[in-house]
Amino acid sequence: MARHLEIAVIDDDESFRVALVESLSSLGYGSSGYASAEDYVRLIGSNAVNCVVSDIHMPGMSGLDLMKHLAAQGTTTPVVLITARSDANLEAKAAVAGAVCLLRKPFEINELIGCIEGAVKD
């Protein structure tokens, strides 16, 4: 069983977000879903999470914008970015922003777990 980690899942696609939160929970992770980056920023408050999994392309604040916001706040929480798009230079943008991984939908849950576990190693 996985060590207890709190994972925030941010995606505007409700069915995908719910499925991902349920998958992470079934694997022993604490997980909560947010419909937007703004919801996450507003609701998370001082409740720290171990890792954020965020869609890149969302209405309002994008996943890349969220990373900039978190960095400006001094937050060092690792972020895994996910996307269904195939834009040519997304990998470079994600790397420059400091994302620990960029996964393209659809991805295997084990790929995501590998990114999360790699990001939160002691």
Residue 11: give its domain's CATH number.
3.40.50.2300
Q: What is the mean pLDDT of residues 47-70?
A: 94
Is 107 contained in some domain?
yes
Both tokens assigned to 62? 């994008």
SS3 48: coil
Q: What percent of the chain shows pLDDT beyond 90?
A: 83
Is 1 contained in some domain?
no
pLDDT at 44: 84
Is the pLDDT at 46 greater than 60? The verdict is no
Is 30 contained in some domain?
yes
Name the residue with higher pLDDT: 26 or 46.
26
- CA nearest 46: which of 20, 68, 77? 77
